Structure formats: C-alpha cells, structure tokens
Amino acid sequence: MNETGALPKAGLFSLLHAADAAQAHVESRLAAVGLSLPKLAALHALSRAGESLPLGQLAEHLSCVKSNITQLVDRLEADGLVSREPDPNDRRSRLAVMTPTGRRAFEEGMRIQQQTEGELFAGLTPDEAQQLAVLIQKLEQRAR
Amino acid sequence: MNETGALPKAGLFSLLHAADAAQAHVESRLAAVGLSLPKLAALHALSRAGESLPLGQLAEHLSCVKSNITQLVDRLEADGLVSREPDPNDRRSRLAVMTPTGRRAFEEGMRIQQQTEGELFAGLTPDEAQQLAVLIQKLEQRAR
DNA sequence: CAAGATTGAGTCGTCAATCTTA
DNA sequence: TAAGATTGACGACTCAATCTTG
C-alpha cells in the first residue's frame, strides 16, 4: 500500500530493548560463576592494567563516576575478588588489586562471556556484524 | 596482514555502550519536563490504554516485574502525574490513572522524545535504519 | 489455594556534600 | 585550594516473602 511504512521501524526503543535482552542473556550465564557484567568489566580493566589500578583510574576505564566504583569495589571485595591496598605513591589514593580468586573468576567469566557473545552473534553473517558495528558507531557518535 | 581483523569489531560491548549513550542522551533532554524514559513509557502505556490500567497490566506492557511498577507508580504519584484509584471490578486490584498534569507532561515528553530520536537517527539513511532494525531484531531473537 | 499488590533486601547507576591528603 | 575517595540520598531494576482479596 505504501513504500515508507509497513517495515520494521528501527527506533530508539527497539535498540534499548534489544540491548537489555542481550545484557540479561549474558548476565544469566555469568551468574554461574557469581559474576555480573559490571564486575567482569572491572576485573577486565584490572587485568589489562596488570592486576591493579587506583580507583579513580578504574572509574575512567569503566566510564563511570567515582562513587560508583567505590561501591562496585565494595561488592567485589565482599566477594573476595579484589582487595583495596594503599597506594605507595599517593596517600590519598587506594589501589584495587585483583586477588587470586578474582583472577580465576575473571578467566571463567571471560570464557563464558565470549562464548555467549559468540552464540548471540552467530545469527549474523560477518558482513552483517560489520554493518551493525558501523551503524551502532554512527548512532553513538550522534548521542555524544 | 589479514582478512578477519583490522575492522571495527561489532561485539556486545559496543552495542551496550551505544544503547547507554542513546538512552542518556534522550533522558538529558527529557529532564527538561521532569520525565525519565521509564516514566514516559508508563505514561505512554496508560495513554494507549485510555488513561488507566491495573498495575499488573502496566507491568506486562512495560515488560517488567510487578514490584517495579509499584515503585515507579509511587514516584509518578509523588510527581502528581498519576494517581492510584480502586478497581471497581476487583478489590484486589488498583488502577493507575493519568492525571491532567500527567497528560500534559506526557505530550511534551513525547514531543521531546520523538524530536531527539529523529536527531539521533538523522545520521542514518532510511536504508541504514532499515538494516539496523533487522540486525537488532535478529540479535534480540537470539537473546530470548 | 490463586492472584494482585506491596515490602524488604540487594545490585547498579547518578549527584551533591564531605573528609583526608597534596 | 585541588584531588582522591567515600557517604548519603535517590532512580530504576531484580527476587523472595508477605498481605489481602477472590
């Protein structure tokens, strides 16, 4: 009946909904090793940085506010995955340090995350994944 | 050096990050009328349903748990945008009813949301928006 | 007992105010 | 005073337990 309608509308809501679903999907798998995506991301940042980082830098790596990191590290510490240690260079600063338990959880978590992500994207051809990356990036650029 | 690397990797993280950015962008505009995206979505559901809904049905429309709606409606009620009224058909049930103030906020909010969404997607050709919709949908299907 | 709603506890995020150290 | 971290209050979400009504 027309050329412009009758097709699946892109829209903000479908994007947000899909992202939510993907996140929930991964987190449900990650729960098997007691990790959430934010916790895994924090351990990932610590791992890349050589097992430890000042809290402020951790906040930068995770693109969030410092008070959030205070609380996230509280929970990671309660889980025994990270410990807070004094920064020898600056007495105001505290270092988040990955514990051996944390490293093991991180490795298992990364394995699960990558496998789940693989399954999620297995429905897309390499070409489609590439297109998606480009479109996503354009959108994000506009939102900045 | 290779055929598979060297290109922008799609990945779960870029999707989640972009969705977050888009959401934050819209919410920053919506703040001008005192609305958040969840509040706007609730008003939207009420509007479509003819200004009122039992809380349980509102939860279904918003695809979330009932206890979340209890609290969201608490906040909407505190804002004067919605009121709780008894359900004449079932004394267990309570109706969320949009107030006149709520209707005005909803209309302004929808205008802002649509305008902002338009700006966000203005960087994409209709074809690209179409592709994005399809890819997003495929992803979400896998996450179910 | 089932269903509708609420409450309490926990995660994850924000912002504004505060405390300590440089 | 600035910078690093924390605290308190709040928004938005989850789940498990509870209360009321059917």
Which is it for strands B82-86 and B52-54: parallel, antiparallel or unpaired? unpaired
Q: What was the pLDDT predicted at A58? A: 98
Q: Which of B22, B135, B137 sits opposite A139 (nearest CB)?
A: B22
- Among A112, A110, A10, which residue's Cα sits nearest to residue B140? A10
Average pLDDT along chain A: 93
Minimal-distance CA residue of chain B relative to A130: B10
- The CA distance from B142 to A56, in Å, is 36
Global pTM value = 0.92
Question: Which residues 78-137 of A have a C-beta within 8 angstroms of B?
Answer: 113, 117, 119-124, 126, 128-137
Q: What is the per-residue pLDDT across A62-79, written as a single tens digit (0 to 9) for each?
A: 999 999 999 999 999 999
Q: What is the mean pLDDT of residues A98-126?
A: 96
Q: What was the pLDDT predicted at A8? A: 65
Q: What was the pLDDT predicted at A3? A: 44
Q: Angle formed by the axes of helices B126-143 and A11-30, to 10°?
A: 30
Question: Is it the case that residue A130 has pLDDT exceeding 90?
Answer: yes
Q: Which of A17, A123, A137 sits opposite B8 (nearest CB)?
A: A137
Q: What was the pLDDT predicted at A51? A: 94
The residues pairing with B83 across neighbouring beta strands, listed in sequence order, are: B97
Nucleotide nearest to A53 in CA–C1' terms: D4
Low-confidence ranges of chain B (pLDDT < 50): 1-5
Q: What is the per-residue pLDDT across A30-67, written as a single tens digit (0 to 9) for each?
A: 999 999 999 999 999 999 999 999 999 999 999 999 99
